[in-house]
Amino acid sequence: MRAWLYLIAAAIAGGIVTTPAILVFFLFGGSTDDALLAALATLMIVAALAVVTMKDIIRCGLAMIVCFLSLAGIYVVLGAPMVAATQVLVYIGAISVLILFAIMLTQDKVAPSRLVFQTQAVPAAIAAIILAVLISLAAIGTDWHAVTSRLRVATDALATILFKDYTLPFEVVSVLLLAAVVGGVFIAKREDPSEGEI
């Protein structure tokens, strides 16, 4: 019985993701890239909504991985494969794993559902919707002098710029990462070794 429920849930999830792609591809006559972008965007938005609304925080972390993965796909559609690879390596490989570790270190009993949201959740939702509308209006209303086809980012050109024009920021970022690692270890380490396990 439970297996059937999982199958039905998987079918519904697949339908939610593929329906926009099929609509864009066949009804509105979009290209393959349009259909791919529609599917990835839907998956990303649904996963992001799951991150902020689900009760079980471990599932929130897993939904965040799905969100990052579909965002990496959108980077590929945009013509920036290097950024997509970095997204997978750093966000999924490092940050998500770090967050899952922190969840498992700090999670105790399953919190009752009324503990998931603050009392200001409804005003927060209204403010977020207003923010989304404002950003959309500003993005559409501004003339960005954009071209109408995507410019591909060549990885060798990217390397040239990164190590010629942006050498100083690159080195500063490496020092920042070192400082963050040292600071993180210092903050999270136990002051008194005789203190109990967390």
Q: For residues 31-90, which are near another protein according to CB under 8 A?
A: 31, 33-34, 36-38, 41, 44-45, 48-49, 51-52, 57, 60-61, 64, 67-68, 71, 74-75, 77-80, 82-83, 86-87, 90
DSSP 3-state of 194: coil
The reply to whether 9 sits near another protein by the rule CB under 8 A is no
Cβ pair 39, 19 in contact under 8 A? no
Pick the closest to residue 48 from 64, 27, 26, 69 (CA basis).
64
In whole angstroms, the minimum distance from the beta carbon of 2 to another protein comes to 28
* DSSP SS3 for 182: helix
Cα 94 to the chain's mean position, in Å? 13
- The smaller minimum CB distance to another protein, of residues 17 and 153, is found at 153
* Binding residues among 97-136 for another protein as defined by CB under 8 A: 98-99, 101-103, 105-107, 111, 115-118, 120-121, 124-125, 127-129, 131-132, 135-136
* Residues 24 and 38 sit within 8 Å (Cβ to Cβ): yes
Nearer to another protein, 17 or 78 (CB): 78
